[in-house]
Amino acid sequence: MPALMALVAGVMQAFSMAWPLDGQPRWWLQVLSLAVLPMLLQAQASRLRAGLIGWVFATGWLTATFWWLFISMHVYGGLAAPLAALAVLLLAGFLSLYYAIAAALFRGAAVARPWRDGLLFAALWLGAELLRGSLFTGFPWGAGGYAHVDGPLGPLARWIGVYGIAAVAAWLAFLLSQLVRPGVRTSLRYWLALGATAGLLAACNAQAPAAPPAGNGARLSVALLQGNIPQDEKFEGGTGIPQSLAWYGEQLRDAKAQLVVTPETAIPLLPAQLPEGYLATLRSFFSEGPRAALVGIPLGRMETGYTNSVLGYQPGKAEYQYHKHHLVPFGEFIPGLFKWFTQMMNIPLGDFNRGDVGQASFVWAGQRLAPNICYEDLFGEELGARFRDPALAPTIFVNISNIGWFGNTIAIDQHLQISRMRALEFERPMIRATNTGATVVIDRGGRVTHALPRHTRGVLVGEVEGGSGMTPYAQWVSRFGLDPLWALALIAAITAWRAGRRRPHA
């Protein structure tokens, strides 16, 4: 029974980021479902059983979060369905080990004191989230903090980022879980902790602006292209490739906005594979006049290596290039010892080289535009590296993506919440051009102001004002990365280990 409760609560944790029926986040569901976990952990007779409960919770959560990886591996990659399903379960089960360790440590060190145990649970949960987002290049998709992009914890993003929000949410979940313990309900310390937390959240929300934070005054008109090229045809010579080259070429030529943006690998061929003169023609569209473009294309050669990249064109300037740094395991690079696995799938351009962290922005029309490609906007600490010099800090984030690999699924909504969180953390607008959705304009307050219908072909025309200044999160994450949060989680883990050694356990 405890394992079943943990599994159901874990699935609800997944749904809190983007509810399956409407794609919207449910912050209260994230806290409520997580509250089930400490309640179950405190009832276990041993650390081993607690670790198992934590593993079941996280496996249910992560499987229900990124189940759509099955589509990329089976439908588009050609991997047999049983193997694709097993691969998703194994990935979720492996990543869940971090949460199992946190659960066991918590059970071993909890001393039935709400203040201390709540802080311990929050810090250990933070440590597990950081491990998932960092080890083996990291896979932080679906981190708990994303459910709060519209909730009362949202204003904390500019101070402590998505991981900090996850820790505060874990603290709240723990306090909520204690309501089922009769002795705790009469504890003055418990109600003081709950009251202090409510006061802090009220203060944060009172300070939250009703309108987006002040911008830099410069406005930019944009045309964001959504080709809706079927993923199973995108790299086919008789269908998707000619469609892409023709449609994107026409839109780049005809768009009237100051900036035209295509999705990731909108041009699906390496330069040497393109029709003669194709790139030169694109460049000529922006050789004069008030327009510029950011174009998603792989660069390099099959023989010497290639990158997932963005080309930038503007009048009177040399060609701009951005190369994706944070690659997707198995989809964009092959981890050591796993080449045999990727050879079982048909994924074109599956072994990219990496670009550098903190690459220069594309400067145009009074804005510093910082491209990031698809999966990269999960890593706010890497986007933060571009804020080390405030004078060169981006004014607008530009995400180009292709979620077509995952079909018409909740992955689109989940990725939208991720981009909205980045806008909140840095108080910078995020414009997104995608193949199938969500192609949107997000303002500096994390609000979607313009959007195209998903799985349609079209051009989203809008206007965006760049951001200015430095949020507290941008200031510390640009200098120290996630080290301050790591230090907090490590101190908690050491405290748990020492307290556990002093107490007998079953």
Burial (CB < 10 A; 0-12, 13-18, 19+), residue 386, is buried
Nearest C-alpha neighbor of 413 from the set 446, 441, 438, 443: 438
Judged against a pLDDT cut of 70, whether residue 334 lies above it is answered with no
Nearest C-alpha neighbor of 170 from the set 26, 349, 46, 37: 37
Give the pLDDT confidence score for residue 317 in this predicted structure: 94
Tell me the pLDDT band of 505, cut-offs 50, 70 and 90: very low
Give the pLDDT confidence score for residue 215 in this predicted structure: 73
Nearest C-alpha neighbor of 493 from the set 104, 47, 95: 104
Judged against a pLDDT cut of 90, whether residue 163 lies above it is answered with yes
Cα-flanking dihedrals φ and ψ of residue 401, to 5°?
-140, 165
Q: Side-chain half-sphere of 471: how many Cα atoms within 13 Å?
A: 28
Domains of the chain, first to last: 2-210+482-501 (no CATH), 215-467 (3.60.110.10)
Judged against a pLDDT cut of 80, whether residue 203 lies above it is answered with no
Average pLDDT, the chain: 89
Give the pLDDT confidence score for residue 218 in this predicted structure: 81
Per-residue pLDDT averaged across 4-13, rounded? 97
The alpha carbon of 343 is separated from its chain's Cα centroid by a whole number of angstroms, namely: 27
Helix (H, G, I), strand (E, B) or coil at 181: coil
Cis bond before residue 438 (omega within 30° of 0) = yes
Cα-flanking dihedrals φ and ψ of residue 220, to 5°?
-130, 125
204 is catalytic: no
For residue 276, count other CB atoms closer than 10 A to its CB.
6
**Long-range pairs, 444-450, Cβ under 8 A, ≥24:** 444/212, 444/213, 444/215, 445/209, 445/211, 445/212, 445/213, 446/149, 446/154, 446/157, 446/420, 446/421, 447/212, 447/420, 448/416, 448/420
Rounded to whole angstroms, the Cα distance separating 157 from 73 reads 34
Give the pLDDT confidence score for residue 347 in this predicted structure: 65
Give the pLDDT confidence score for residue 381 in this predicted structure: 96
Tell me the pLDDT band of 233, cut-offs 50, 70 and 90: confident
**Which residue is catalytic, options 129, 264, 332, 381?**
264
Which tokens belong to 99?
A: 């949460």
Give the pLDDT confidence score for residue 490 in this predicted structure: 87
Give the pLDDT confidence score for residue 452 in this predicted structure: 97
374 is catalytic: yes
Judged against a pLDDT cut of 90, whether residue 97 lies above it is answered with yes
Q: At what angle do helices 81-95 and 97-109 cross, to 10 degrees?
A: 30
β-bridge mates for residue 477, sequence order: none
Give the pLDDT confidence score for residue 506 in this predicted structure: 41
Per-residue b or e along 401-427, where b marks 16 or more CB atoms closer than 10 Å to that residue's CB = bbbbbbbebbbbbbbbbbbbbbbbbbb
β-bridge mates for residue 367, sequence order: 364
Q: Which residue has the higher pLDDT, 495 or 427?
A: 427
Q: Which residue has the higher pLDDT, 370 or 495?
A: 370
Tell me the pLDDT band of 471, cut-offs 50, 70 and 90: very high
pLDDT 10s digits, 178-200: 887 666 655 666 666 667 666 66
Nearest C-alpha neighbor of 100 from the set 156, 44, 150: 44
Q: For a pLDDT cut of 70, what percent of the chain falls above it?
A: 87
Rounded to whole angstroms, the Cα distance separating 229 from 240 reads 6
What does 23-51 look like in DSSP terms, one character per residue?
Answer: ----HHHHHHHHHHHHHHHHT-SSHHHHH
Tell me the pLDDT band of 339, cut-offs 50, 70 and 90: low
Give the pLDDT confidence score for residue 350 in this predicted structure: 63
Q: At what angle do helices 411-426 and 157-177 cross, to 10 degrees?
A: 120
Which tokens belong to 79?
A: 């991997």
Per-residue pLDDT averaged across 118-138, rounded? 93
Give the pLDDT confidence score for residue 205 in this predicted structure: 61
Per-residue pLDDT averaged across 262-285, rounded? 96
Give the pLDDT confidence score for residue 282 in this predicted structure: 96
**Which residue is catalytic, options 332, 374, 382, 425?**
374
Which tokens belong to 254?
A: 């005809």
Q: Are strands 215-226 and 430-434 parallel, antiparallel or unpaired?
A: unpaired
264 is catalytic: yes
Rounded to whole angstroms, the Cα distance separating 499 from 493 reads 10
Give the pLDDT confidence score for residue 207 in this predicted structure: 59
Tell me the pLDDT band of 95, cut-offs 50, 70 and 90: very high
Q: Are strands 215-226 and 458-467 parallel, antiparallel or unpaired?
A: antiparallel
Answer whether 230's CB lies under 8 Å from 192's CB.
no
Question: Which amino acid is located at 90 in the chain?
Answer: L
**Which residue is catalytic, options 324, 332, 381, 427?**
324
Per-residue pLDDT averaged across 79-87, rounded? 91
Give the pLDDT confidence score for residue 71 in this predicted structure: 92
pLDDT 10s digits, 32-55: 999 999 999 999 989 999 999 999
